[in-house]
A = this chain, B = another copy of it.
Amino acid sequence: MDIERRSVSMPHVSQQTDQPFELGVFSFVEFDKDPVTGVRISGAQRMAELLETIELADQVGLDVFGIGEHHRPEYLASSPATILAAAAARTKRIRLASAVTVLSSDDPVRVFQQFATVDLISNGRAEIMAGRGSFIESFPLFGYSLNDYDELFKEKLDLLLRLRESERVSWQGHFRPSFTNLGIYPRPVQNPLPVWIGVGGTPESVVRAASLGLPMVIAIIGGLPEQFAPLAHLYRETARQAGHDPAKLALGINSHGFIADDSQQAADDYFPSYAQTMNRLGRERGWGTITRQHLESARGLRGSNFVGSPDQVIEKILFQYEHFKHQRFTLQMGVGPIEHKKVMRAIELFGTKVAPIVRAEIAKRRAS
């Protein structure tokens, strides 16, 4: 269903929360040749640089770092929990999330065990973000059929939620062996272990998250973000009707972007790997070629791409806040390789220039 054609009217959103607005970074741990130099660094170096960025994100006070799951040569992250465990051992306060765990093709028992372990290592900072996945490589690899795309997710999410509810569980389903009254270990620090739902814009996914009373992240990576605002209304209204207090639910938005000291620099840093990655995917999926003009258009105030100076990114988060009244914004800093020192600078700017102003301004707007 094309969300842009939905007739749900723009709601007046009155979401309130006592929690400060949260800001964070997502990475798929892109592992590709540098679009400028043509060089691909080693996997070990890429991983070391990733961990440095997570440490820095923690140090500059960002709230969450998310790692995606991909089973392709252009990404190092096929096991988010393994990477998050390393990050947990190097950080103090930042929350550590999958972004997303492709739950449909995984075993919820293993996923729960791994994230419970990350939760122990991090002393209560782990989050599972479950999604159906925008790539499909994991389905044939783990023996699943895309014909069961939705049923798989539904059943596996049901099992995952049972595992966090009680230590001993009985289970019967179609896509994973049944068991009776078995204990699942280790138990996490957080009870319950947070499970978010990551959605790409499908209303049925929004309804599912809301009906279950689960926090939700919308990935907005194209179009006009304000056109996704009806999903926020749908989410809160469905939750309310299902008996969940919308004020206790968290809504996040995740978008692509990059931050540099000035706007031109941000776009220059971002564009080469953006074009390289989007054009490769475009060849697979039949999209047109990405030009610099696409980026310039998408990074305008009403566009979906957060590439700009700290002031531009602040303005854009606040603009979206008026439409979504969301609780968390996460930035996927590049969809392909960007020079490490530039990524470090982007995270520093995000944590020290963008986040404090966004948090203060949103607190002010909530209070008024």
Contacts and interface: CB of A to CB of B under 8 A. Distances in A.
Interface of A: 31, 42-44, 46-48, 51, 70-73, 75-79, 81-83, 85-90, 107, 109-110, 113-114, 117-118, 120-121, 123-124, 137, 140-144, 167, 176-180, 182-189
Given A89-B87, A110-B110, A117 B79 contact: yes
Nearest to A42: B189
Contact of A44 (B81, B90, B123, B179): B123
Contacts of A31: 186
A114 B187 contact: no
A28 to B, nearest CB: 12
25 contacts: A31-B186, A43-B120, A43-B188, A44-B123, A44-B124, A46-B120, A47-B117, A70-B185, A71-B185, A72-B185, A73-B167, A76-B185, A77-B117, A77-B186, A78-B113, A78-B185, A79-B117, A82-B117, A85-B86, A86-B88, A87-B89, A90-B90, A137-B182, A141-B184, A143-B176
Most buried by B among A83, A90, A189: A83
Most buried by B among A75, A78, A107, A185: A185
Nearest to A168: B73
A253 to B, nearest CB: 28
Given A78-B117, A185-B73, A109 B141 contact: yes
Contacts of A110: 79, 110
A70 B186 CA distance: 9
Contacts of A144: 177
A140 B179 contact: yes
B179 A43 contact: no
A142 B120 CA distance: 23
Given A86-B85, A89-B86, A176-B143, A120 B76 contact: yes
A44 B123 CA distance: 5
A109 B88 CA distance: 24
B142 A177 contact: yes
B121 A86 contact: yes
A184 B72 CA distance: 8
A185 B89 CA distance: 23
Given A83-B121, A141-B179, A78 B47 contact: no
